[in-house]
């Protein structure tokens, strides 16, 4: 049984510390996990930005025919994520398509009966060995970027096979950008929102907006449509999943309210809308009801009555 308090997010100092992912194998590199069609399965939440990354990469790379996915209920309670049921329906969510489990924790215990960590999504699952391959989103999107390319080519999906979200010529710049965006924006909103002390919150929220200012400045260059280089890369995907949630959730729920993307960051706002409206592979993975309901109804220490704000309206503005 996990010793983690699922709904406790800060330590004695009032700081949010994200737990490292525990399963870190790579399809195609680890001999235990060869590349095969329909061998692997993805478990996600539409609410979760980390899981959202993997859904985008899966769709961009055209992997729909190679691995299916299951979607948990948007609500996370003291026992973690659960799947919908007849008595507990959730539009858009699915049953566990493999085992009919009621909770994601059952997967983790099947992979490791002595597991003591958090039951997080995404989970990349091996259906043959009945175990977790990887539960680190940053690694799963790189697995999806390259592992299935030979199968894609063989099946005539040449465009998807050639699509490279982590091109060699941009890798150093992508890694550097990912580092400061993750620490100060992706995870920064959580460090602000889950802060247990005023001084911790103020320090973290100021860092979020200082680095949004940095992104805004970098996108101010003429013709700069993407975060790194002149093509869509994983750097865009990793930032997109946070920014698409920023105005609808993080402004009010995580108290990241020094400014709003739509009013205070014109370059980021244009970048966001261009990605959302021009790339169906991104747009189709965004489910605003799951996003808003999850955050506002799953964190009783932040929002004890579980009331979900109506606005902002619309969730995203037209291009």
Q: Which sequence positions are flagged as catalytic?
A: 48
Residue 273 near residue 318 (C-beta atoms within 8 A):
yes
Left if phi > 0, otherwise alpha if psi is -120 to 50, otherwise beta: which for 14?
left
How far apart CA 227 and CA 232 sit, in angstroms, is: 8
Pairing of strands 67-71, 40-44: parallel
Q: How far are the Cα atoms of 288, 310, 311, 317, 318 from residue 314, in angstroms, in the given order?
A: 10, 10, 7, 6, 9
Here the tokens at position 234 are 């994983």
Sheet containing strand 131-134, edge to edge, reads 67-71, 40-44, 123-126, 131-134
Cβ–Cβ < 8 Å for 33, 26? yes
Contact 152, 35 (CB under 8 A): no
């Amino acid at each position: 049984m996990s010793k983690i308090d699922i709904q406790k997010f800060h330590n004695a100092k009032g700081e949010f510390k994200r737990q490292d992912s525990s399963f870190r194998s790579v399809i195609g590199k680890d001999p235990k996990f060869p590349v095969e069609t329909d061998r692997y399965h993805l478990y996600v939440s539409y609410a979760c930005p980390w899981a959202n990354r993997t859904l985008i990469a899966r769709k961009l790379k055209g992997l729909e025919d190679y691995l299916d996915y299951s979607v948990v209920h948007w609500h996370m309670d003291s026992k973690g994520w659960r799947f919908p049921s007849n008595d507990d329906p959730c539009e858009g969510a699915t049953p566990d398509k493999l085992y009919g489990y009621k909770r994601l924790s059952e997967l983790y215990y099947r992979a490791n009966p002595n597991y003591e960590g958090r039951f997080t999504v995404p989970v990349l699952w091996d259906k043959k060995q009945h175990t977790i391959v990887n539960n680190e989103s940053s690694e799963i999107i790189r697995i999806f970027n390259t592992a299935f390319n030979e199968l894609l080519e063989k099946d005539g999906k040449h465009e998807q096979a050639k699509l490279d979200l982590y091109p060699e010529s941009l890798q150093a710049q992508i890694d550097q950008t990912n580092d400061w965006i993750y620490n100060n924006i992706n995870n920064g909103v959580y460090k602000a929102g889950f802060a247990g002390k005023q001084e911790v919150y103020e320090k973290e929220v100021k860092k979020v907006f200082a680095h949004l200012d940095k992104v805004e400045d970098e996108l101010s260059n003429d013709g700069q449509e993407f975060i790194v280089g002149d093509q869509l890369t994983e750097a865009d995907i990793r930032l997109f999943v946070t920014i698409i949630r920023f105005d609808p959730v993080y402004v009010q729920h995580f108290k990241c309210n020094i400014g709003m993307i739509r009013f205070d960051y014109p370059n980021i706002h244009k970048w966001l809308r261009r990605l959302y409206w021009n790339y169906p592979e991104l747009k189709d993975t965004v489910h605003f009801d799951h996003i808003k309901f999850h955050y506002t109804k799953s964190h009783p220490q932040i929002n004890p009555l579980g009331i979900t704000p109506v606005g902002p309206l619309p969730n995203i503005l037209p291009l």
